[in-house]
Copies of this chain bind each other. A is one copy, B any other.
Amino acid sequence: MSRSISESTIRRLSHYLRALESLAATNGETVSSEELAARGNTTAAQVRKDLSHFGSFGKRGLGYNVEELRRRLREILGLDRPWRVALVGAGRIGSALYAYPDFKRRGFECVAVFDADPAKIGAQWGDTTIRDVAELEDVVRREGVDLVILAVPAEAAQELADRAVHAGARGILNFAPVRLRVPPHVAVEDVNLVMELEALSFHITRSGSNGA
């Protein structure tokens, strides 16, 4: 699972891609590692190091060709194909995610939404009918779902992950506050908003009274 590439490197690749897209829209055939660094809030050395994991880009003194680097970054990130996504959990977080305009723009298409609550099953979200989570395996198989977003309570998450993986899902974006156990071929990214606040609390506490 690409363990040699750190999660922070992957996030920076996404930032570089966004920088290249905005450059491509404006002008510029080439871009320097300094320019990419400024837009990614990092250093030119870090840009060169991040890209060096994936081969040789750019020419010394000439910078990177914007179009070529953009195309390569899209390939590296796996964005040169569409991804079929199922959302499990039609609560508040789920509905915020469903409405997120950037998902579709980036090639992540939500092909199904599930919930366990009879009051929600059958309701319409835009073109999408909320389905009974009992149909999860069938729909994942039939629709060729690649990625599952789990926006469900902690106690339901592992079982739903197991079922989605068994039906063929290969990636899980997990909002439940629990560490999922999955086979090695399955990727998991956790989003735990309380832990993000705890990380802020940690940093502020450690930086002590010399701040603001």
Given the interface pairs A191-B193, A193-B97, the reply to whether A146 lies near B204 with Cβ below 8 Å is: yes
A1-37 interface bits toward B, Cβ cutoff 8 Å, 1 = contact, 0 = none: 1100101101101110010000000000000000000
Shortest Cβ distance from residue A19 to the other chain B in the assembled complex, whole angstroms: 10
Q: How many residues of A contact B (CB 8 A)?
A: 70
Interface residues of A in 73-121 (CB under 8 A from B): 76-79, 83, 85, 91-93, 95-97, 99-100, 102-103, 106, 108
Given the interface pairs A13-B202, A211-B185, the reply to whether A197 lies near B83 with Cβ below 8 Å is: yes
Per assembly, the copies of the chain total 2
Query: Is B171 a contact partner of A200 (Cβ separation < 8 A)?
Result: yes
Contact residues in B for A192 (Cβ distance below 8 Å): 11, 14
Q: Is A71 an interface residue (CB 8 A)?
A: no
Interface residues of A in 170-188 (CB under 8 A from B): 170-173, 177, 179-181, 185-187
Given the interface pairs A7-B8, A147-B197, A194-B108, the reply to whether A92 lies near B103 with Cβ below 8 Å is: no
Query: Is A95 a contact partner of B92 (Cβ separation < 8 A)?
Result: yes
A203–B184 alpha-carbon span in the complex (Å): 11
Contact residues in B for A128 (Cβ distance below 8 Å): none
Query: Is B96 a contact partner of A198 (Cβ separation < 8 A)?
Result: no
Residue of B nearest to A83 (CB): B201
Shortest Cβ distance from residue A107 to the other chain B in the assembled complex, whole angstroms: 8
Query: Is A177 a contact partner of B18 (Cβ separation < 8 A)?
Result: yes
Query: Is B95 a contact partner of A199 (Cβ separation < 8 A)?
Result: no
Query: Is A202 a contact partner of B10 (Cβ separation < 8 A)?
Result: yes
Shortest Cβ distance from residue A17 to the other chain B in the assembled complex, whole angstroms: 8
Shortest Cβ distance from residue A16 to the other chain B in the assembled complex, whole angstroms: 11
Q: Is A52 an interface residue (CB 8 A)?
A: no
A selection of 28 A-B contacts at a CB cut-off of 8 Å is A7-B199, A10-B198, A11-B190, A13-B202, A14-B192, A41-B181, A77-B201, A78-B204, A79-B201, A92-B96, A96-B96, A100-B194, A103-B194, A106-B194, A106-B197, A106-B198, A108-B194, A108-B197, A147-B197, A147-B201, A165-B212, A168-B212, A171-B201, A172-B200, A185-B212, A187-B199, A187-B203, A189-B200
